[in-house]
Amino acid sequence: MFFRGQVIGKYKILQPIGSGGFGTVYLAEDTWIDKKVALKVPHKQHLDFGELLREPRLLATLNHPNIVAILTAEKQENIFFIVMEFVPGVTLETIIARDGALDLARALDYTCQISNAVDHAHRSGVLHRDLRPSNVLVTDGGLVKVADFGTSRFLEIAAHGTTVIGSPPYMAPEQFQGKAVFASDIYSLGVTMYQMLTGVLPYATPSPADLDRLMTGELLSAPRLKNPKIPKVINDIILKAMAPDIHARYQRAGELLDDVLAARAGSRAARTPRAIVGAETAVDDPQEIQLRLKAREAPQTPRFCWHCRKPLHARSDHCPFCGERQ
């Protein structure tokens, strides 16, 4: 669509960054303010202007340090494109391909940041529907940015997303039936965790003949079988995130994040997730109840650690990255 050196409006095209099923992304320079930006050009240019604006309007509702920011949308020379912040770094997919299984601390660091992004989107009523390592950008400083919300959908538009969208190795069983819900993103996050900690996918890309086995969980083997260094509690968190039954899965990213933070802290709370042990063993003490009540009152605006400046979850009083009390 664009070529190197082309000037469109105030943007000078520097090079293509990548291309996917929904569009091509270019690195460009905003010549007015000498700033690098990313331009996403949707493949479908024939839609009416209102349809073209749906994605940027959706993404403009998401303002979070772990989500690639949308700056504006423009139409120049009869070409519609979305202007996004440029994130220097590499994709998580590239990191896994290069390094193989990541060490536990690094994998959980990335998990916490991705969970922050997904939790924020879900609280805004937005599903991602195509969460995977190639859509996760990592800067040299270790900051994670979730990208490509182009397949996203407001939950309010319908009871669930009804179009079969996603990347098969990362898709929850219900997505193959065109039914995407919040817990579908959690399944994709679980697959991403699995891949980060083992260096491989939990199973080959499911074929139509494998769908029944995917629905029953027969395709899935525990990540500890592929990497015995994975702690049992993290193993169980991944298996709960990837439960084939929606109701047995984490419903929100914040729930998964709570268990990961507890596991990282090595506290008493770092036990097998409640849905796995059973309700009869999940006895709440007064201190835990107070912490939950306090969490519900926590502000939803992004917070940063005073020490390492990485994004904090609203419910955290300790930084999950450097451990400093906030």
pLDDT in tens, 99-135: 999 999 999 999 999 999 999 999 988 888 889 999 9
Q: Report residue 160: phi and psi, to 5°.
A: -160, 165
pLDDT at 57: 85
Annotated catalytic residue 130: yes
Distance CA 134, CA 170 (A): 11
Nearest to 324 by CA among 254, 265, 246: 265
Mean pLDDT across 264-282: 50
Tell whether the torsion through CA atoms of 276, 280, 281 and 285 is positive or negative: positive
Give the whole-number percent of the chain exceeding pLDDT 70.
79
Q: What is the pLDDT of residues 6-57, one digit of tens each?
A: 999 999 999 998 887 678 999 999 999 999 999 999 888 888 888 888 878 8
Q: How many CB atoms lie within 10 A of CB 91?
A: 18
Q: Give residue 269's pLDDT.
A: 44
User: Does 276 have pLDDT greater than 80?
Assistant: no
**Higher pLDDT residue, 279 or 219?**
219
Kindly indicate whether the domain formed by 90-283 is annotated with CATH number 1.10.510.10: yes
* Domain locations along the chain: 8-85, 90-283, 285-326
Q: What pLDDT is stored for residue 238 in this prediction?
A: 97
| Ranges assigned E (strand) in the chain | 7-8, 11-19, 23-30, 35-42, 70-76, 79-85, 90-91, 126-127, 136-138, 144-146, 153-154, 303-304, 311-312
Whole-structure pTM value = 0.77
Burial code of 112-147, b = ≥16 C-beta within 10 A, e = fewer?
Answer: bbbbbbbbbbbbbebbbbbbbbbbbbbeeeebbbbb
Q: Which CATH architecture has domain 8-85?
A: 2-Layer Sandwich (3.30)
What is the pLDDT, as a whole number, of residue 264? Answer: 86
Higher pLDDT, 165 or 25: 25
Average pLDDT over residues 257-282: 61
Catalytic choice (109, 130, 148, 259):
130
